[in-house]
Every structure is written in structure tokens, then in C-alpha cells.
Amino acid sequence: MTIEYLKKATPPQEAIDGATAETVQRLLADIQTNGREAVEKYARDLDGWRGSIVVGEADLSKASNSLAQGVKDDIAFAHARVKDFAQRQRDSLYEFEAELIEGLITGQKLIPVNTAGCYVPGGRYAHAASAIMSICTAKAARVSNIVATSPGHNESGVNPAILHTMKLCGADTVLSLGGVQGVAAMAFGLYSPRPADVIVGPGNSFVAEAKRALFGRVGIDVLAGPTESAIIADETADVSMAAADLAGQAEHGPDSPVWLFTSSRELGLKVIELMPSVIAALPELARTAASAAWRDYGEVVLVSSREEMIEISDQYAPEHLQVFAHDLDWWLVAGQADQLRLAFPGRGDDRSLWRQVRRPQPHLANPGCGAVLGRVERRQVHQDRDLPAVDPQRQPRGGPGGSPYLAPGRHGRPRAHGRYPAKKIFSARVI
């Protein structure tokens, strides 16, 4: 295979971030020793939150009442889809007992964990979809006690869309805590009847490091890295759609790789030309992140055939992959055997909407994770992937309210991507 880089990534020299690990260890030790007093101190100092840590029913109702009906309709629409899928997943599991040889009886029992802790990001962006992906899935796994937490900021507290979603999905305890203190509060059971058996959900480097440090004391879903996204595009692809989708994924963070694999030099060069103007149109926070991600980690790779596009995609093994090409039936068949089973096929389709509304349970990011991970779910028994596909004539375009946004910005301003879910692990101790 001969490849040509029309744009090559030039990531900055990686440095070992010992400061983050040291900070997390110090905070965890303080919280383990001083409990709620330490947690509330960090909530004040780091997030400016001086209100109640446990969110009461009155505040949950107030948050719901503050939202436009269209937003609530969209959240309900996504919740129904994820709930349906998660329940079907749960129903596909079964218990059995077998006598393998005389006197040797073995089997499998499905036992939900007692308490699941669900971390929902709410810093730079408010991820209501993350609440759906975690809390709803735990509920479907029949977890009896679900604790959910998201950062409270200054006087505003937790984003109302997140609070509404947590209530809708059935969280038993809702906390106004972010960062290390939020993860620690769930792990140590400081505001809930029991400590969490498992903690799930995406977050910043401090959240990821806290989960790493606590692993063993509690279970975790995965140590998520920066989001990776790739597009396979042939000469028939819409240049504007490809550029918009790459920008919408690059805004996840300044170190989020976005890659375009194409058999068309003309399309690749046009995307490179268009990207600066697409990124420039984003809101400030998203623009800053996407600019750095595209500059340092963005790549456009030219190959000669669709078979080679599959081969290069398998080598990169991205977290998320989308196909913009003609003859989608061929790509769907190709996806049955290769990494393309993680793809979102569809010319002119919005992959962000795909991930929220049509493919309910993606996995969290890790470099090259597409090669080995399917959905990280209520069990870690075998690799399991789903192939999303839609009839182009019957593509759902959002919830009943007509707006596809599930994750408004921290101050209510939607970003280009607008939607970011998480997928978690909850149960199934196999004996």
C-alpha cells in the first residue's frame, strides 16, 4: 500500500505529567482522611460552589421547569432509545448451570453491582447525553443504587439539562461535585448509602487520574484518552460535511486527533483548505481546542482505492469512524469483517446525531481502541460491536422537538458537535 500524507500530524513533544498524578493523590488522601469537610472545601476552592452538595427534589424540579419543552422532548427521545437498547442488551444475557463432568457443576449468574457511580462532565461543556449513557444503562442492568455527580459552578450550580436528565434516568442520589472530589465522594460513599462498586463516565485529566488511582478499590469503565475520530471519503463525498464533521470532533480538546482517509486528492486538498474557516466559525472555547487539535494532530491521508482506505483505517483503529462514499452496501458488507463495523455509514449524514440517536452506546476513547474495543457495557466477557445503518429515505433527524442538541454549552450555547456520550460497565459477575 502506497500512502501520501496531504497533511501530517506534528504533535508536540509528549511530557510525563507527574504534577497531575501528585495533585490527585494529595486530594484523594485528604478526602479519605477528612471526608465531607475536604470535599466541600475543594468544591468551594476549585469550582466556586458553596451550595448544598446533595441536590434535592425541589432543585431537580426547578431545573426541569427551567428548560424549554423542545430540549426536554429531545432528551426524552434519546433516553427512550438508549433505554430500549440497554434493556435488549440485558435481555440477551442469560444464566445457566451445567455439569461439565460428573460432580463438576459450573455456570453463570448475572448479579448487578450494588452501587454505580456515574460521573457526568459539566465544565467546559454540559454533557446531558453522558447522563443518559451511564445512568440509564445502570438502571437497565438493575443496579439498585445509582449515584450521579456533575460539577456545580459558582452561583449557577449544575447545568439544568444535566439535572433534568439525571432525574429522568432514575439516579437515586444526585451530587453537585466535579473533578477529583466528585469521583472520591462516590468511591468513599460520602453522600450515599454505600460506596460505589464501579465508577463510570468521561472527564478531564484529573477525573481520569482519580479513576486510575482508585481502580482496585472500585471498578471503572476505562481510562479514557483523547477522543479520536476519522472519516473515510471518496470523490463523491460532500467537502463541507467532511470538514464540519472533522471540526466538530476536533473541538473535544486540543489533543483530539482527527483523520481523513481518502482516495481523492482533490477532495483532500479542498478539506484542508476549508478547515480554517470552519474552525473559525466555532464559539471561542471550541475554536481554541479545534484549532490546536487540527494543527497538531490532524491528518489527511491519500491512498489509491477503497480497499486501501479500509487498510489504513484498520492501522489507525480510531475510536469513531464515518464513511462518506457511494455504494454504501459494499461498505456495510466490508464492515462485517473489519474495523469498519464501528463506522457510521451515510453520505451527507451527521455522525454526531448518529452517535446520540441511532447508535445508542459507543465506547470511550483510547489510542487505537477501535482495534480491540466494542461497547464497554454491563459485562466484560467478549468483544461486542454494533453496526449502525439507516435507510437513507427514513433517517431520523432528532427528537420530537426538532432540535438534535443534547449537550448545550455551559452557558446554554450549543457547540458544533453538541453531543458527547459515554459508555460504561455496570454488572455481571460471571461465576
Chain segment 173-194, per-residue pLDDT in tens: 999 999 999 999 999 999 999 9
Do 401 and 86 meet the contact criterion of CB atoms below 8 Å apart?
A: no
Q: How many CB atoms lie within 10 A of CB 137?
A: 33
Catalytic residues: 319-320
What is the fold, at CATH topology level, of the domain defined by 21-220?
Answer: Rossmann fold (3.40.50)
Chain segment 396-408, per-residue pLDDT in tens: 544 445 443 454 4
pLDDT for the residue numbered 291: 96
Do 78 and 200 meet the contact criterion of CB atoms below 8 Å apart?
A: no
d(CA 124, CA 137): 24
Among 199-203, 312-316, 331-335, whose mean pLDDT is lowest? 331-335
Higher pLDDT, 359 or 428: 359
d(CA 320, CA 363): 9
pLDDT for the residue numbered 53: 97
pLDDT for the residue numbered 367: 52
% of the chain beyond a pLDDT of 90: 63
Q: Which of 296, 302, 306 is nearest to 271 (CA)?
A: 302
Does 21-220 match 4-10+225-394 at the fold level? Answer: yes
Domain residue spans of the chain: 4-10+225-394, 21-220
Angle at 298 between CA 229 and CA 387, to 5 degrees: 15
Chain segment 273-303, per-residue pLDDT in tens: 999 999 999 999 899 999 999 999 999 999 9
Q: What is the pTM of this model?
A: 0.76
Copy the grid coordinates of residue 22: 501528585
pLDDT for the residue numbered 285: 86
What is the fold, at CATH topology level, of the domain defined by 4-10+225-394?
Answer: Rossmann fold (3.40.50)
What number is the average pLDDT over the span 34-53? Answer: 96
Mean residue pLDDT of the chain comes to 81
